[in-house]
Amino acid sequence: MTITFVAAALLRLSETGRLDLDSPIERLTSSEHSAILRADGYQPENITVRQLMMHSAGLADHFASDEGIAVAFANPQRLWKRTQQLALMTRLTDPLGKPGETFSYSDTGYILLGEIIEKVTGEPLDEAVQSLNGFQELGIASLRWETLTGEEPAPVRAHQCIQGVDIFDWNGSLDAFGGGGLIGNVEDTARYFDALFSGGVFAAPETLETMMSAPGHPEVSQYRLGLFMHEVGGHDVYSHGGFWGVHVLHVPSLNLTIVCVALAEEGEKAVTAKTGRQLSNRF
């Protein structure tokens, strides 16, 4: 659920006056990326940062199609660049609608948001996200970028299976530019989500409220800003899952955080179903 951390980083930039979430992304992304989008029928001058955060910008997902998955499986050791993934999305898909009209989950939108964080902060994405989310102040040490290039080696990902294939040796650049990238343990993930909902990440309560409510999101969407919202037993539940098998949820009314991991693709549905049943029974 790297996307939650990326969204929180953007909200931190907003509350400190360094970023207007309603700015067009054309001003904040490279001219090359704007040209790639425009060549496929997008209008980056009409897409805002907030719409990318809500997955309502009309973008598809570069690895959501059968063709995209086939590309990933064909060369699992490939060293990906952000530009290549954006180009892959525009080659395999077309715009899904006008900005702000519909919800469609898009990691591609979040790799653009990762670029925006780097441009606004002048820092590499991993350093900026960790700093803006206050990892050091929160005592969170295990959550680090898998493709970190500093002196200290990045943590090792667990063995996991996708479509029956062990992806342990796949190059982490496949999912490293904002749609994914963070790796760590469940304890630190839970500690972060507790802090996020208890005032330990944002300076102003209004910022958390914006994240939880996402004014202007499409009415049919359960997505807010970096979080899904749904109701279980009369309680609002905020959650996010990850491609690599992590699922986290937080129930503000109960001050309850649950983090689960499935090491096989088919296990994630079982984890979410069991968690939902446990919550329903508890409520």
**pLDDT at residue 149 is higher than 60:** no
Between CA 198 and CA 192 the distance in angstroms is: 10
> Could you tell me the CATH number of the domain that includes residue 108?
3.40.710.10
Between CA 80 and CA 146 the distance in angstroms is: 14
Of 14, 34, 33, the closest CA to residue 81 belongs to: 33
Residue 125 lies in a domain: yes
Residue where the block lists tokens 């080659």: 91
Query: Which of the four pLDDT bands, split at 50, 70 and 90, describes residue 281?
Result: low
pLDDT 10s digits, 22-37? 999 999 999 999 999 9
Residue 176 lies in a domain: yes
What pLDDT shows up at residue 278? 61
Please state, for a pLDDT cut of 90, what percent of the chain lies above it: 69
What's the DSSP call for residue 142? S
**Per DSSP, what are the bridge partners of residue 251?**
256
What pLDDT shows up at residue 221? 93
Query: Which of the four pLDDT bands, split at 50, 70 and 90, describes residue 161?
Result: confident
pLDDT 10s digits, 188-198? 999 999 999 99
Residue 133 lies in a domain: yes
Query: Which of the four pLDDT bands, split at 50, 70 and 90, describes residue 172?
Result: confident
Residue 254 lies in a domain: no
For 215, the enclosing helix (H) or strand (E) is none
Min mean pLDDT across 62-66, 144-148, 165-169 is at 144-148
Min mean pLDDT across 166-170, 185-189, 270-274 is at 270-274
Between CA 269 and CA 274 the distance in angstroms is: 8
Of 139, 132, 129, the closest CA to residue 187 belongs to: 139
Residue 100 lies in a domain: yes
List the structure tokens of 87.
């180009």
What is the residue range of 41's domain?
Answer: 2-156+164-210
What pLDDT shows up at residue 244? 67
Residue 89 lies in a domain: yes
Which residues 6+ apart lie within 8 Å of 32 measured at CB? 83
Residue 222 lies in a domain: no
pLDDT 10s digits, 176-225? 999 999 988 999 999 999 999 999 999 999 999 999 999 999 988 999 99
* pTM of the model as a whole: 0.93
HEC string of 5-19 equals HHHHHHHHHHHCCCC
> How many domains would you assign to the chain?
1
Residue 29 lies in a domain: yes
- Terminal-residue alpha carbon distance, the chain: 25
